[in-house]
Amino acid sequence: MSHWIPKPPSPSTLGDHAVPLDGNHLQGKRIALLVTGGIAAMKAPTLARSLRRQGAEVTAFVSDEGLRYVTEDTLAWSTNRPVISKLGPRAEHLSGEDLFHAYLVAPATYNTINKMACGIADGAITATLASALGRMERGACAVLVCPTMHGSMHTRILTESLERLQQLGVTVIAPRDDYGKHNLPDDEPIVAALSRAISTSPLRGKKILVTGGPVPSHLDAVRRLGSRFTGALGVAIAKDLAMCGADVELILGAGSVAAPPWLNTRIAESVDHYRQLVLDTLQATPHQGAVLSAAVSDFEPTEIRQGKVKTADGDWTLHLRPTAKVIDAVHKNFPALHMVGFKYEETSSHEALMETARSRAAEHGACVANRGEENPKGTEQVAWLVVPGREPVRMEGKPAIAAAIRAHLEHRAGLHPMAHN
């Protein structure tokens, strides 16, 4: 372990209370974060900042019991807003002119959940929730709860309360099941659930297929022929679309980075398996779009060797043949499906890449194109979104690429209903 030579940190334009933005799914949204009494309350400040990273304005409400595990100053710093711990003459539980778009109870204790279900409003948190439920009944906001408690407290009473709340329209975010307890989930699935609950995107509720990662060809029982791509972009696209409310199905090639558990994900073990998964998925239910970013192996061996080829056997000569293009099979079987295809080139000029991308876009709907020369090692990924009749859009970095694809699909959905199969 090297000795650190003390020096000032690198300068930043980010203010002390500001947070770097990860996205804009909650831009302009006002969120009430209700913190109740439980050890998981100590995670509320990081959750508040995660909500703000999507553009939300967060106001914390905290119970007396909650203040045993997190301080009012910490909540005020993390939200950059005053904290409400008591009801006053301003009737904070009614939210006044600054109405909230969503109320998030995290953590939600046994006590609070059962009081909500019974209509009890005996404190700052429960009175605020009584008003929130009334506004929710009128379609004016969303209410979400994250149950957190010891397993022995998961009684029939709790089950009935949660079922009643869900029947009323409350979103219950599944807890993380660990060590005999209902634990508060990580920030990302909570933020995603809240974003989906209040999304006004035209993609909300629409089925979108996303593929990503290296899809290999098998050489023998253990060796595969693939690419250096990781699937990180496919995961970023799927997450972005899911957060705007789309019903996303993600197919990742074997060897890709792991997708978060809250995404509906399947793994394609080979090119043939990938082709079957894609076609079966699109055949099973109507989809309104497909983003096919998977790096499917372009070649496969003419013979797959049985077992594991031994190095003692000496030289191994491979004869490769091109694989059939899955995107062409999709277009043939589902000609009305709008697709976003991908094209990657090496040792190609920008003009040649754009010409190829325009041809692909004209056939499939849209094309994301990039080339190695524009992506030096250690730099942000640069790509171009090519859509017929529009100038190519330059994108830099995976989050920007994902956001641009979402914006394209939203624009298309806003112009007319996306075509079913």
pLDDT digits (tens, 9 = 90+) for 95-143: 767 899 999 999 999 999 999 999 999 999 999 999 999 999 999 999 9
**Same domain (yes/no): 134, 215:** no
Decide the pairing of beta strands 142-147 and 149-150: unpaired
DSSP string across 176-220? EEETTEEEPPPHHHHHHHHHHHH---TTTT-EEEEEESEE-EESS
**Same domain (yes/no): 217, 159:** no
Residue 58: half-sphere exposure toward Cβ, Cα within 13 Å: 33
DSSP string across 320-361? EEEPPPHHHHHHHH-TT--EEEEEEESS--HHHHHHHHHHHH
- Per-residue confidence of the chain (421 residues) as pLDDT tens digits? 688 899 999 998 988 889 999 999 999 999 999 999 999 999 999 999 999 999 999 999 999 999 999 999 999 999 999 999 998 878 878 876 789 999 999 999 999 999 999 999 999 999 999 999 999 999 999 999 999 999 999 999 999 999 999 999 999 999 999 999 999 999 999 999 999 999 999 999 999 999 999 999 999 888 888 888 999 999 999 999 999 999 999 999 998 999 999 999 999 999 999 999 999 999 999 999 999 999 999 999 999 988 998 988 889 889 999 999 999 999 999 999 999 999 999 888 999 999 999 999 999 999 999 998 887 777 788 999 999 999 999 999 999 999 999 999 999 987 655 444 3
User: 8 by DSSP, 3-state: which?
Assistant: coil
Q: Would you call 412 exposed, middle or buried from its count of C-beta atoms within 10 A (0-12, 13-18, 19+)? A: buried
| Domains contained in the chain, number | 2
Domain of 152, CATH number, reads: 3.40.50.1950
The H or E element containing residue 129 is: helix 124-137
**Same domain (yes/no): 45, 146:** yes
**Same domain (yes/no): 404, 346:** yes
Residue 380 pLDDT: 83
Is residue 225 a part of any domain in this protein? yes
Residue 78 pLDDT: 97
Residue 1 pLDDT: 66
Measured CA to CA, the distance from residue 333 to residue 188 in angstroms comes to 36
Residue 340 pLDDT: 97
**Same domain (yes/no): 295, 225:** yes
* Residue 408 lies in domain: 207-305+318-415
Decide the pairing of beta strands 207-212 and 289-292: parallel
Instruction: Using the 3D structure, point to which of 180, 198, 216 is the last residue of a domain.
Output: 198
Is residue 311 a part of any domain in this protein? no
Measured CA to CA, the distance from residue 421 to residue 413 in angstroms comes to 15
* Pair 323, 298: CB distance under 8 Å: yes
**Same domain (yes/no): 79, 164:** yes
Measured CA to CA, the distance from residue 47 to residue 197 in angstroms comes to 17
**Same domain (yes/no): 99, 243:** no
Amino acid identity at 220: D
Residue that is written with structure tokens 């002390």 in the block: 16
**Same domain (yes/no): 108, 235:** no
Residue 419 pLDDT: 46
**Same domain (yes/no): 335, 387:** yes
Instruction: Using the 3D structure, point to which of 198, 215, 243 is the last residue of a domain.
Output: 198
- Of 99, 89, 95, 109, nearest in space to 35 by CA: 109
| Interacting residues of 367 by C-beta distance below 8 A, sequence separation 6+ | 340, 341, 342, 343, 357, 358, 360, 361, 385, 386
Instruction: Using the 3D structure, point to which of 198, 222, 248 is the last residue of a domain.
Output: 198
**Same domain (yes/no): 77, 36:** yes
Residue 377 pLDDT: 74
